Amino acid sequence: MAESHSDCSVPTEESEKIIRKIVNQLRETGMRKTEALEELLQTMLDHHRPFLLSELGEMPGLKNRDQATIYRLVMKLKEAGVVRQLSLGERGNYFQINLSDHHHDYLLCRECGMVTEVPVECVLHEVEQKLAARHGWKDLTHSLAFQGICPECLAKP
Ligand SMILES: [Zn+2]
Ligand SMILES: [Zn+2]
Ligand SMILES: [Zn+2]
């Protein structure tokens, strides 16, 4: 299976802070802090990229856990707005943790399914700011995936 490359990774010190904040936020919704929850959040911060549920379940910290629990946690995190769901291409739904300070846009290969971060700065923030300033919208976000054929697939004979 194709892997994504060059993951963004949140540094440990920062990810500990983020996890504490999320756990506090979740406590208000009645969600308890469990080892599985912490492990899931840690994994999604160590690798700040969109995961298929099946990929998440195979990650080192999660593969020995009950997969139904992981699935349920991801859905709860999505409801709480901690995680967002991205539909990229035909492979289905990806899940990624929301960070307030940055996000990524993606390139998706139609041939091999590789998902990789767009290596240039997102130009849509400016558009969001204009929409907010001129049209009165608030809290705008977007998800963007360019789809095409990756250089590796192009190089194949
Ligand atoms: Zn990132
Ligand atoms: Zn490809
Ligand atoms: Zn963007």
Q: What whole-number distance in Å separates Cα of residue 153 and Cα of residue 113?
A: 10
Burial 126-152 (b: 16+ CB within 10 A, else e): eeeeeeeeeeeeeeeeebebeeeebee
Mean pLDDT of 8-32: 93
Q: Report which bound ligand comes closest to the CA of 45.
A: 1
Topology (CATH level 3) of domain 6-100: Arc Repressor Mutant, subunit A (1.10.10)
Percent of the chain with pLDDT over 70: 96
Mean pLDDT of 84-90: 83
Q: What whole-number distance in Å separates Cα of residue 12 and Cα of residue 45?
A: 9
| Ligand 3 centroid to residue 30 C-alpha, Å | 32
| Ligand 1 centroid to residue 36 C-alpha, Å | 22
Q: Report which bound ligand comes closest to the CA of 150.
A: 2
**Cβ-contact 43, 56 below 8 angstroms:** yes
pLDDT at 56 over 50: yes
Q: Report which bound ligand comes closest to the CA of 6.
A: 1
State which residues have CB under 5 angstroms from ligand 2, the bound ion: 109, 111-112, 150, 153
Distances (CA, A) of 143 to 17, 127, 140: 25, 13, 11
Confidence (pTM): 0.83
Q: Which residue has the higher pLDDT, 44 or 7?
A: 44
Mean pLDDT of 34-46: 96
Q: What whole-number distance in Å separates Cα of residue 56 and Cα of residue 61?
A: 9
pLDDT reported for residue 145 = 87
Could you tell me if residue 57 is left (phi over 0), alpha (psi between -120 and 50 degrees) or otherwise beta?
alpha
List every span in the chain annotated with CATH 1.10.10.10. 6-100
| Ligand 2 centroid to residue 108 C-alpha, Å | 8
Q: What whole-number distance in Å separates Cα of residue 73 and Cα of residue 146?
A: 29
State which residues have CB under 5 angstroms from ligand 1, the bound ion: 8, 48
Q: What whole-number distance in Å separates Cα of residue 145 and Cα of residue 7?
A: 16
pLDDT reported for residue 66 = 94
| Ligand 2 centroid to residue 110 C-alpha, Å | 7
Q: Which residue has the higher pLDDT, 26 or 120?
A: 26
Candidates 3.30.1490.190, 1.20.120.420, 3.40.50.300, 3.30.70.2190; CATH matching 103-157: 3.30.1490.190
List every span in the chain annotated with CATH 3.30.1490.190. 103-157
pLDDT reported for residue 86 = 87
Q: What whole-number distance in Å separates Cα of residue 105 and Cα of residue 55?
A: 19
